[in-house]
Amino acid sequence: MIVQTIGVVGCGQMGAGIAEVGVLAGYNVIVYGRNEDIRPACQARVRGSLERAASRGKLEAHEVVSALGRLRGTAHLADLAAADLAIECVAEDLALKHSIFRSLDDVLHPAAILASNTSSLSITEIALSTRRPDKVLGMHFFNPVPVMRLLELVRGLHTSDETLAMARKVGAYLGKTTITAPDSPGFIVNRLLIPYIVEAISAYEAGLGEVAVVDSAVKLGMGHPLGPLALADLIGLDVTLAIADTLYASSGNPYFKAPPLLRRMVAIGQLGRKTGQGFYEYRR
Question: Cα 211 to chain center, whole Å?
Answer: 25
20, 49, 140, 158: the active-site residue: 140
Task: Specify whether 216 is catalytic.
Answer: no
* 151 CB-near residues (< 8 Å, 6+ apart): 139, 140, 141, 142, 171, 174, 176, 177, 178, 179
Task: Specify whether 119 is catalytic.
Answer: yes
Q: Do the Cβ atoms of 270 and 220 come closer than 8 Å? A: no
20, 92, 152, 158: the active-site residue: 152
119, 120, 122, 129: the active-site residue: 119
Q: Rounded to whole angstroms, how far apart are CA atoms 174 and 5?
A: 13
Within 10 A of 182 (CB to CB), how many other CB atoms are there? 11
Task: Specify whether 140 is catalytic.
Answer: yes
Task: Specify whether 190 is catalytic.
Answer: yes
Q: Rounded to whole angstroms, how far apart are CA atoms 200 and 203?
A: 5
DSSP string, 173-208: HTTPEEEEEESSTTTTHHHHHHHHHHHHHHHHHTTS
Q: Do the Cβ atoms of 14 and 117 come closer than 8 Å? A: yes
Beta bridge partners of 72: 30
- Could you tell me which of 176, 172, 170, 175 has the C-alpha nearest to residue 150? 176
* 83 CB-near residues (< 8 Å, 6+ apart): 5, 6, 7, 30, 108, 112
Q: Which residues are catalytic?
A: 119, 140, 152, 190
